[in-house]
Chain A
């Protein structure tokens, strides 16, 4: 049985780049090209980022005064819930994986596309359908349960459109799962010749680890939301104590997903900054193998710690003890990564382009967020600060100071590759610095007031907290400016920016060895990988001051 006559289309002619292949809206909406799908996701998440931002803008305006004079209690509850739901599920979870991951993953491993291109497009459409449900829920007045949907409030007493909101999140969960399946299969099955596992860029490992978490954690969220919908819509008494139900069971199911979800949000960020530190310090990543093991450990151990969100819920004290211990353990691989990034910078020839500024911001802010996480892992401290602004500050340091910074870092770093244009470096550096300052002004006061006892999700508070709230709200305004600036100068660069060459940063990595923007099938010829990643300088030598050329690039073509 010969397979000599395989039906296989080969593209012989010089290809147009992927942006030129089809100009109609239809060509974009039906494209199975991973690069176009990445851009479709980018547009969707940018829209939701601003929705979530407006919601919290209103919240911060309200919080400038201790009385509830700008928003009613109900409106306030609905706005912070909206902020949480939109930012977690419609912005952060898809942000780096579905935009940068989609665009770059196949290129970084030397493939033409992801494993299942049609499912990739389907996963964007599933995201949009879920987003529609969320918009319906918003338009219907929103939900007041908090993004955590705790029972029995969400199932029995809330007056908002919980079913639409839960359905929206349920549906986008499947988008996540589909993307995860696609990426895992891609990394296993489509690596170019010579691209062994330990030659993969750390961004690819990060996306792989994230995809494993997405595939294994998201279904449990889906079930927990389905159970809420069943209870609310069909009257099934799952979490109703009067029928023997346990509201804490919901929390177990919810946090079994939602803790790994924070790793879904942070692992890709770690991958991005690894790429950027190496490039702008002209140094190989210190301890590549340990970086890989650390990311995989975070992905796995992250599944064992969910109970630290439930220390005061009524969970058994013995479970508290176990979860606390495991939460300390999960900090170790993250710390290893911080040490390795720092060591990567050491003896490097550092330049401060915008991506590097964002990445350096990540390093510091992620460290602060991570250390305060240790405070929260300790049960006695957590009992004092749980449900206060201390927790809010902690997770915003990681998710905004960490993940959003890294998202901007990656967006700037790969912008020339994606669009073929250079953005304005001066404006970008300015925006990065404004963001760093605005971020700290917003969230550092929150640690202080949280420790002093300011509860979260309250809009009426004792007057002694007002000074911190005002600082925080002013910082939020600065952040708003910092986030709007890139929208302006990046869009401007699309039309008026200088054309970027193939490799404006002189980076290693297969994606830089093809045109900017890339051709539709990524490479003119299949790359053969002969070198490990990050070959910025020869063995056992620090990089030279004037030498911006890498020692070797990864692919020989």
Chain B
């Protein structure tokens, strides 16, 4: 049946090391969150998250010994997320440039209105007002 127990513990060795690394990273991210580091809190947290995800992807999900096709598929997922984020942020980051009209100013959001006088009254070009509706 199964081999003698020493071969199974050898099987555990590498994955357990990865697991320990993951727990250490968890400790770092939670611990550092309580230290006021300004912008670095975010940087550390997301870098640690990326590192943990990378460890899981590479070692538990076997990307280290996968064929190129699998790696390409994994990369495609990541790239598409980058496309989604970058072009969407292209909108949000440029909304206030050069006084261009914005839909949303933080802390000023009001349904359907904006500050009086800052945005031209816009009518949709063709609101029919012909005849009577029965």
Contacts and interface: CB of A to CB of B under 8 A. Distances in A.
A455 interface: yes
Residue of A317, A461, A463 contacting most chain B CB atoms (<10 Å): A317
Contacts of A317: 94, 100
Chain B: interface secondary structure? Answer: loop
Interface in B104-134: 104, 106, 109-112, 124-126, 128, 130-134
A252 interface: yes
A68 B134 contact: yes
Residue of A69, A188, A315 contacting most chain B CB atoms (<10 Å): A315
A454 B132 CA distance: 18
Contacts of A188: 69
Contacts of A460: 128, 130-131, 133
A234 interface: no
A462 B104 contact: no
Contact of B76 (A216, A454, A458): A216
Nearest to B86: A304
Given A242-B111, A303-B80, A252 B134 contact: no
B6 interface: no
A8 interface: no
B91 interface: yes
A367 to B, nearest CB: 28
A306 B80 CA distance: 14
Contacts of A315: 91, 95
Interface residues of A, number: 40
A304 B126 contact: no
A322 interface: yes
Contacts of B104: 241, 244, 246, 248
Contacts, number: 92
A454 B126 contact: yes
Interface in A183-225: 188, 216, 220
A188 B76 CA distance: 16
Contact of A316 (B76, B83, B97, B133): B97
A316 B91 CA distance: 5
A140 B84 CA distance: 35
B1 interface: no
Nearest to A463: B130
B111 A241 contact: yes
B94 A304 contact: no
A316 B128 contact: no
A319 interface: yes
A114 B100 CA distance: 52
B125 A453 contact: yes
Contacts of A316: 90-92, 94-95, 97, 100, 102
A380 interface: no
B43 interface: no
A460 B104 CA distance: 33
Given A252-B91, A318-B97, A304 B83 contact: yes
A307 B91 contact: yes
Interface string A304-337: 1011000000111111001100000000000000
Interface string A279-319: 00000000000000000000000011011000000111111
A304 B83 CA distance: 7
B60 to A, nearest CB: 21
Given A241-B110, A455-B126, A256 B97 contact: no
Given A67-B131, A242-B110, A314-B103, A322 B80 contact: no
Contacts of B76: 216
A66 interface: yes
B88 interface: yes
Interface string A137-156: 00000000000000010000
Given A241-B110, A242-B109, A252-B91, A216 B80 contact: yes
Contacts of A319: 87, 90-91, 94
B85 to A, nearest CB: 10
A318 B98 CA distance: 10
A318 B90 contact: yes
A68 B131 CA distance: 10
20 contacts: A66-B131, A68-B133, A241-B104, A244-B106, A244-B109, A245-B109, A248-B91, A248-B104, A306-B87, A314-B101, A314-B102, A315-B91, A317-B94, A317-B100, A319-B87, A319-B90, A453-B125, A458-B126, A460-B128, A460-B131
The 3 closest A-B pairs by CB, nearest first: A314-B103, A319-B91, A318-B94
Interface of A: 66-69, 73, 152, 188, 216, 220, 241-248, 252, 256, 303-304, 306-307, 314-319, 322-323, 387, 453-455, 458, 460-463
